[in-house]
Structure formats: C-alpha cells, structure tokens
Amino acid sequence: MGILLWLVTFIGMEGVAWLTHKYIMHGFMWHWHQSHHVHHHDPVEKNDLFSVVFGISSTLTIIAGAEIPELWPLFYIGLGIATYGIFYFIFHDIIVHRRIKIKYKATSRYMKRIMKAHYVHHEVHTKEGAQAFGFLYAPKKFQ
C-alpha cells in the first residue's frame, strides 16, 4: 500500500505542479516567479523559494508519517512529493536551464517534447499569455 501511495503521489504531483504553475506562480505569486522569466546570471533566483516551500511540505509530511503511527500514509505521500522534486530538479534546473553545467543532448521523443514545451513556455516573459505549464509531461502538440 505504501508503494502505491508513493507512486500515485509522484504521478499526481504533475497535476499539482501544473495547477500551481498556472494559477499561483503565474497568478498572485508572480512576484516570486517573475525572476525565472527574465534573463540573469545570478546562481539563485526568487523563484527558488517555491522549491523551499515544497521541500518543507515534503519534509514535514514525511516526519509526521514516520513519527505518528496513525498518519503512516503521510510518510509515503511525502516521499512521492520528494521524488517528484528530485525529478523536477534534474529535468528543469539541470537539463533544461543548465543551472549545473552538464553536457546533455535530448535524443528521445519524450525529452525533446518536454524540453520544447518548456522553451515555448519561456518565450513569454510576462504573467499572462504563457502556455505549457507542466514539468514532466507535455501534450503531443509540442512534438
């Protein structure tokens, strides 16, 4: 049951991320996210605070699930959130934005599609008008 909770949470986090990105980051929290839509050479940006918020949420969920027996499902839910965060960091920060310099060339159709979708998202530097709000999934129209 724990592995199923972890997997469902990991997969469901794409929906949470999409909703958060579209309605919160490009909504009332644009003042944090805007730093991610402008060119700069700083190693950190205000947008990184979203990672801190999700990291704290994941950590507290894992701790509550590990320490309070009745809340054991929270442990696996927290692990699902953390796993999504790791995948997000690798894809978004390392592969797409090259915040850690590595040599990588997308060869699979999946990677090409999600990278293209993310680049299309960044063609817009304003709060409104962006598309492709997912991180690990992109509709086929971005092929």
pLDDT score at 143: 86
CA distance 129 to 122: 10
What six digits make up the tokens of 39? 């060119």
Place of tokens 């915040």: 99
Domain ranges of the chain: 2-34+47-142
Tell me the pLDDT tens digit for each residue of 61-91: 999 999 999 999 999 999 999 999 999 999 9
pLDDT score at 33: 95
Low-confidence ranges of the chain (pLDDT < 70): none
Q: Which one-letter amino acid corresponds to residue 10?
A: F
pLDDT score at 64: 98
